[in-house]
Structure 1
Amino acid sequence: MQLINESKSKKTVNKKNLKAALTLATTALLGSVQVSATPTSVAAEEDTWSFDSAFLYYSEADRVSAAEAVFNAKKTYSDDSILNLKLTVDALTGASANGAVAQPDVQTFTRPSGKGDYEIKAGETPLDDTFHDTRVQLNAQWTQALAPNVTGSVGGHLSKEYDYLSLGINGNIAYDFNKKNSTISFGLSHFQDTFTPEGGLPKPFASMPLAYHDSDDESGHDATRMGSDDDKTTSDIMVGFTQVINRRMVTQFNYSYSVVDGYLTDPFKVLSLLNNQGLAQDYLYENRPDKRTKQSVFAQTKYHFDETILDVSYRYMWDDWEIKSHTVDTRFYIPLGNGSYLEPHLRFYQQGAAQFYQPFLMEDDATPEFASADYRIGEMTAYTVGLKYGMKLADGNDLSFRLEYYRQDPKSAGHKAPGALADMEIYQSIDAIIAQVSYSF
């Protein structure tokens, strides 16, 4: 999960440099194919390096915490070619919802490895407190002019976690016209991921086995597994258009199409199997389709007032899982003088549920082909509100601080809670704090 906004700290710009500043700030926000949608040629000193670093801490109340460090190095050559290298290291710890619903009695769950178990108190959302992972990610990108008004970019991606390996390549080409006030771009990317979860891949809708210990027979656990690893591929296409409207305003429009194929089930998620009284009789492993096609449209406008800059964007996403989402993101850059600034941030997100989302299963109903109780593919609303403060130091480098509050509110998606669940909080809100420090030199 990438949490850090990688855009460079905004500098105070005069009207003469507004076009270049707004165009660069706009393209920095694009990451759907991990390439700049509108590479822009900028007059460069000979073979210069610039560096960006950031540290972010994300913490959900009583749940997941993440610490992430990013170091980005960019070398601009005398012919305006650009080499960009980025290293990301993050660590996640805490408790993650396992998909089961709260119950009026204590619940016992087997850990994903099959070795050992954990208990959840009555009335509480089941959380697996052994959730932890460390990720190291490397990205490299090369951008250069291919012809007058044509810029190309190619890149590679490597990401490694304890149980996950991701490899990717990408490419982009952009054409400037209309006196460089208009840019159209086309990008492709492809990723190959391998998942080797602890405990193996559970069979769809298999019952959670009893835990075993060092001297116990593991055959019960093994009988619920169908292998130790699986793959998935992701292919993305993006078409973008950027237009400078006038000396104050620039707009951007993107369309992206993505196909994900392979193992898309979360092997750590289960569903509660309930009787008519709403009491859990079993816990079944989830099952999702092995293919997902996603599409999205994105529009963004930046407007430069006499001193301030307003940045507003909207994204609409839909897929063949019947998930639809709307995202509105607004930032307002306010210079304070001497190179310092404030940037309030407000983001709103609304999502509909996947067609196979079910918060629980009923034992009297037939087992569906696909089902998942993962709140991340359920109906929800979320918002982020925060403030960033940046400054230019005496040596000319940039330092900024960001503090934000995030809240996510899952919904029932029309599923009526039976019996004992009527008194349970099964759609628990999530509150989180995001703190970030960035330094550019």
Structure 2
Amino acid sequence: MKKLSLILLLLSTALAAQESQQETSTTYKKRVLESTEIDFLASYYTQEGDNAAVTGGIGTEELTDLTPTILVSIPLNDDDVLTIDASISAYTSASSSNVGPFDGNGPANPFVASSGASRQDVLTTVSGNYSHSSDDRNDIWSANVAVATEYDYFSVGFGGSYTKLFNEKNTEISVKANVFLDTWNAIYPTELRDQPSFIKFDDESRNSYSLGIGFSQILSKRMQGSLSLDVIQQEGLLSTPFQRVQFADVTDVIVQEFTLGDDVERLPDSRVKIAAGGRLHYYINEIFTVRTFYRYYIDDWGINSHTASIEIPIKITDKFTLYPSYRFYTQTAADYFAPFNEHLSTQDFYTSDYDLSDFDANQYGFGVSYTDIFAKMHIWKLGLKTIDLRFRQYERNSGLKASLFSGGFNFVMD
């Protein structure tokens, strides 16, 4: 009897210890985000070209844009993270200034910027994202909301995503969905506003719905690949109200040095976009890694495009990495595109926006990053974790050239 009591006592002690160990193992887990992180980002974009859609496919495309951004990621507990993103995009555009081409001091000319109010604007965007990870970190749910506004445009967006990791986290499947509800405050070219025959858009809303599916797989110790499929449905006002079109079968009216618009861009009120792509990353050694990307795009407006890019990070020290890159892009023209003064007034849809034309483009990039995972350098209570500086040069065979300078500083709060 004493032996039985001793056995029961040892068994109960062992079970209690096992339960305690299980509770400890389930309650202790690595936090998704250890502490609050703050990113200070900024970009400066400049472009030039001679195919402005505002003036019907000819004219200056000169534009500059400065965008400061702050991104704050806050761990709410072990599993949940709240991210807030706020940015202000301030741009000056020579082409959009010619919505009102007669505001300048000299003769109106599509290749000369006017001084009207439309020459500059500010786009303000604020978004929030909430994500939750399961205890084993194999399931991640997220929800997001965004608001954007500028002088003639307002947008509200919301959506969510779900990510599943399995196969010892070597395989990942994700699905995401977003909705954007936009409203134009339509601004028309000055010469068309008071014409009795001019027809304004009766619906100034635009709704966009997107669904994306992703698959990622670690193929070996050195190689990782991923596939993605995105489908976007757009409905509503898909034309830009202040972009002019001149008709070949209508006599040109030229005031000073400016050809007046016969109408504004008219495009279908629906569009379906489908993009399928893949990435392949290969680790060569401690110094070199190769990152490749390809995407095929098609829509029901007649555009087909191919994108291919390669980036080769070069780790020159424990903290510094260089990022040379190259990107090639080619697309066919939309069914509704024609250059300046080549559309007919009998057509239902027409645009002279060279973004919808047939073109090839090359982009050359270079970047450098600094990383200190221990964030030893401090500014007040902020530890500097990473610095990232990038430059990209973009060139189309249509003559458009653009440069983008961007930088980011990532801080961790003590």
2:261 aligns to what?
Answer: 283
1:325 aligns to what?
Answer: 305
Q: How many residues align?
A: 353
Q: 1:367 Cα deviation (Å)?
A: 1.5
Residues 164 and 366 of structure 1: CA distance in aligned 2, closer, same or farther (over 3 Å) = closer
Is 2:118 the partner of 1:136? no
Q: How high is the sequence identity, in percent, across the aligned residues?
A: 23
Q: 1:370 Cα deviation (Å)?
A: 0.4
2:41 aligns to what?
Answer: 54
Q: 1:440 Cα deviation (Å)?
A: 0.8
SS of corresponding position for 2:79:
coil
SS of corresponding position for 1:166:
strand
1:176 aligns to what?
Answer: 165
Residues 435 and 366 of structure 1: CA distance in aligned 2, closer, same or farther (over 3 Å) = closer
Is 2:235 the partner of 1:261? yes
Q: 1:44 Cα deviation (Å)?
A: 2.6
Residues 45 and 239 of structure 1: CA distance in aligned 2, closer, same or farther (over 3 Å) = closer
Mark the runs of 5 or more structure 1 residues left unpaired by the alignment.
1-41, 99-108, 203-207, 211-217, 411-428
| Conservation of the 8 A alpha-carbon contact between 1:110 and 1:209 | no
Partners of 1:181 and 1:380 in 2: CA distance:
39
Q: 1:309 Cα deviation (Å)?
A: 1.9
Residues 397 and 358 of structure 1: CA distance in aligned 2, closer, same or farther (over 3 Å) = same
SS of corresponding position for 2:396:
strand
1:246 aligns to what?
Answer: 220
Q: Which amino acid aligns with 1:249?
A: M
Q: 1:184 Cα deviation (Å)?
A: 1.1
CA deviation profile, 1:351-378 (whole Å, cap 9, x unmatched)? 1110111114458x55101010010111
Partners of 1:328 and 1:409 in 2: CA distance:
17
2:185 aligns to what?
Answer: 196
Mark the runs of 5 or more structure 2 residues left unpaired by the alignment.
1-28, 49-59, 378-383
Q: Which shows bigger deviation, 127-136 or 273-282?
A: 273-282
CA deviation profile, 1:46-104 (whole Å, cap 9, x unmatched)? 76111212111011136011101111111234423221111111111121279xxxxxx
1:336-415 counterparts in 2 under 5 A?
336-361=316-341, 365=344, 367-392=346-371, 395=377, 396-410=384-398
2:206 to 207, 223, 232: 232
| TM-score, normalised via structure 1 length | 0.72
SS of corresponding position for 1:306:
coil
SS of corresponding position for 2:119:
strand
Residues 235 and 126 of structure 1: CA distance in aligned 2, closer, same or farther (over 3 Å) = farther
2:142 to 126, 142, 153: 153
Residues 254 and 264 of structure 1: CA distance in aligned 2, closer, same or farther (over 3 Å) = same
SS of corresponding position for 2:198:
coil
Partners of 1:153 and 1:297 in 2: CA distance:
23
Residues 398 and 118 of structure 1: CA distance in aligned 2, closer, same or farther (over 3 Å) = same
| Conservation of the 8 A alpha-carbon contact between 1:400 and 1:437 | yes
2:74 aligns to what?
Answer: 75
Q: 1:147 Cα deviation (Å)?
A: 7.2
Q: 1:119 Cα deviation (Å)?
A: 4.3
1:267-306 counterparts in 2 under 5 A?
267-274=241-248, 283-284=261-262, 285-306=264-285
Q: Which amino acid aligns with 2:237?
A: Y
| Conservation of the 8 A alpha-carbon contact between 2:217 and 2:226 | yes
Q: Which amino acid aligns with 1:436?
A: S
Residues 197 and 142 of structure 1: CA distance in aligned 2, closer, same or farther (over 3 Å) = same
Partners of 1:351 and 1:362 in 2: CA distance:
21
Q: Which amino acid aligns with 1:135?
A: L
SS of corresponding position for 1:283:
coil
Q: Which amino acid aligns with 2:393?
A: Y
Partners of 1:146 and 1:338 in 2: CA distance:
33
Q: 1:279 Cα deviation (Å)?
A: 9.6
Partners of 2:406 and 2:170 in 1: CA distance:
34
| Conservation of the 8 A alpha-carbon contact between 1:44 and 1:77 | no
SS of corresponding position for 1:273:
coil
Partners of 1:282 and 1:291 in 2: CA distance:
28
RMSD, matched Cα: 3.0
| TM-score, normalised via structure 2 length | 0.77
1:302-313 counterparts in 2 under 5 A?
302-307=281-286, 308-313=288-293
| Conservation of the 8 A alpha-carbon contact between 2:33 and 2:81 | no
